Amino acid sequence: MFLEIVTPEKKVFEGEVNVATFPGSDGSFQILNDHAPLISALQSGNIVYKSNAGEQAIGIKGGIVEVLNNRIIVLAEGLAEAS
């Protein structure tokens, strides 16, 4: 599936991933291939994604995520330190 992470300043990441974990406003949740369509608010925390290159984490200050047809788009309010 394709993940794109965008802030008001720049595109932070785009590429194919196998799994992605998000800091949802009601707790963290994970997206796998062929996930049902979803729109959710995000709180401050880490987006963790795994690809063939390994696992990466990007810290965000909150935002919105949309999942549709194996495409994940994150509109992040800004970047934060990944922990």
Judged against a pLDDT cut of 80, whether residue 23 lies above it is answered with yes
pLDDT band for position 74 (cuts 50, 70, 90): very high
3-state helix/strand/coil string of the chain: CEEEEECCCCEEEEEECCEEEEEECCEEEEEECCCCCEEEEECCEEEEEEECCEEEEEEECCEEEEEECCEEEEEECCEECCC
d(CA 48, CA 38): 18
State pLDDT tens for residues 42-68: 999 999 999 999 999 999 999 999 999
- Structural domains in the chain? 2-80 (2.60.15.10)
